[in-house]
Amino acid sequence: MNELQDLQGRHVVLGLSGGIACYKSAELVRELVRHGASVQVVMTEAAAQFITPVTMQALSNRSVYLSQWDAREPNAMAHINLTREADAVLVAPASADFIAKLAQGRADELLSLLCLARPIERCALLLAPAMNREMWAHPATQRNAAQVVADGALILGPAAGDQACGEVGDGRMLEALELCDELIAHFQPKRLAGRRVLISAGPTFEAIDPVRGITNLSSGKMGFAIARAAQEAGASVTLVAGPVALPTPRHVARVDVKSAQQMHDAVLPLAPQHDVFVATAAVADWRPAECGAQKIKKDGSGAVPTIPMTENPDILAAVARLPAAPYCVGFAAESHDLAQHARAKRLRKGVPLIVGNLGPATFGRDDNALLLVDDQGERELARADKLTLARALVAEIAQRLPAR
């Protein structure tokens, strides 16, 4: 599946209650549609004070619903009809008043009516709060938020930051891209619910002197995609990342390191606390025995400095040998003879699964092709974008884990 079609076939009712964050809802409609969803917008009277129904209609390509008395519905039951084909109702922004209304079971306008009337077992309710920081922190709002969660709703956010009133704190609505990612994650199968997954990603950097070092071309994109996919699948995820310029996937705990030794020292204490360890990092096999205190300079003689090297610790093998070792998945980035090298690496590391790929053909790219190697043989995951492959790999790992 193309990453931009993650919501293909999904029908979403997007509700807007009153708040300045309604301006973000326009971009949210675009993102949902871009990812393949059909979007039906429903607005409260207050929301229409902040953004026009014409704007939302143009972006969604559907007429906007504003009133429970809308005469377009033959049975005069818009609050029933709008949710019967919906996969989810997303209210963004969800004001303090609207959350209070849901907590009390009140339904005096179309949006609250359809939230109450939706088929609760198959149509999820997701709320993106947006309000002043004091309103969000107020005990009544916190009590109401806890009640709607207890009633089955999912609260997305809020975020902290600058607010329209000039204050700073919790209460900002999540950005459109974040909300779209949250909705995509909601629909992913929760194959790793209750599991803890540790992932290493990216290259390492082995210092030669204060300004130079040995590294490789790994971008970290595959490891970060696996971290996102595992989190979407319900896992609690910790990501140990080498030096990369990638944003942290939502709800993933990140530990930044630089060298192979630092990655080893971060991973080993964490591994026994996790059910799965996925070693996607392209860890340098060797490092300079000593890091020069100053930059090594050319002296004009043409002499080439000799740099003694020493072997780095084998992180994956060390984790696999732990008494309480997690299920270990290694990666083999090879330049040739992929299957042969992956088979040998699996046996050498003592792990149940190795994922092979051709490093020069994938470093820095957004797509990849993977070869799964285990004691049963080999199986290829055909070339696709890295997030699609990550989700397929997560499904493979989930099937191989022992029942709890």
What is the reported pLDDT for 1?
Answer: 40
CATH number for the domain that contains residue 64: 3.40.50.1950
Phi-psi region of 197 (alpha: psi -120 to 50; beta: other; left: phi over 0): beta
What is the reported pLDDT for 69?
Answer: 87
What is the reported pLDDT for 339?
Answer: 79
Which residue in the list 165, 180, 291, 328 is annotated as catalytic?
165
What is the reported pLDDT for 298?
Answer: 82
Closest CA to 230 of 278, 270, 182: 278
CATH number for the domain that contains residue 261: 3.40.50.10300
Could you read off the pLDDT of 313-339 as tens digits, one per residue? 999 999 999 998 999 999 987 667 777
Residues 144 and 17 in one domain: yes
What is the reported pLDDT for 359?
Answer: 60
Distances (CA, A) of 198 to 58, 84, 231, 330, 398: 44, 40, 11, 12, 14
Place of tokens 């049963």: 376
Q: Looking at 126, 156, 187, which one is the last position of a domain? A: 187
Q: Looking at 187, 207, 230, which one is the last position of a domain? A: 187
Query: Residue 61 is part of which domain span?
Result: 3-187
Residues 65 and 202 in one domain: no
Please report the DSSP string for 72-130 in residue order: TSTTS-HHHHHHHT-SEEEEEEE-HHHHHHHHHT---SHHHHHHHHS-TTTSEEEEEE-
What is the reported pLDDT for 345?
Answer: 86
Residues 145 and 219 in one domain: no
For residue 283, give both structure tokens: 């860890």
Cα gap 367→358, rounded to integer Å:
12
Closest CA to 32 of 12, 16, 47: 12
CA atoms within 13 A on the CB side of 212: 12
Which residues, in sequence order, are CB contacts of 77 under 8 Å at separation 6+?
A: none
Which residues, in sequence order, are CB contacts of 197 under 8 Å at separation 6+?
A: 227, 230, 235, 236, 237, 238, 274, 275, 276, 277, 278
SS3 309: strand
- Size of the chain, expressed as the number of residues it contains: 404
165 annotated active-site = yes
What is the reported pLDDT for 80?
Answer: 85
Distances (CA, A) of 42 to 83, 264, 271, 283: 11, 52, 47, 51
Q: Which residues of the chain have pLDDT under 50?
A: 1-2
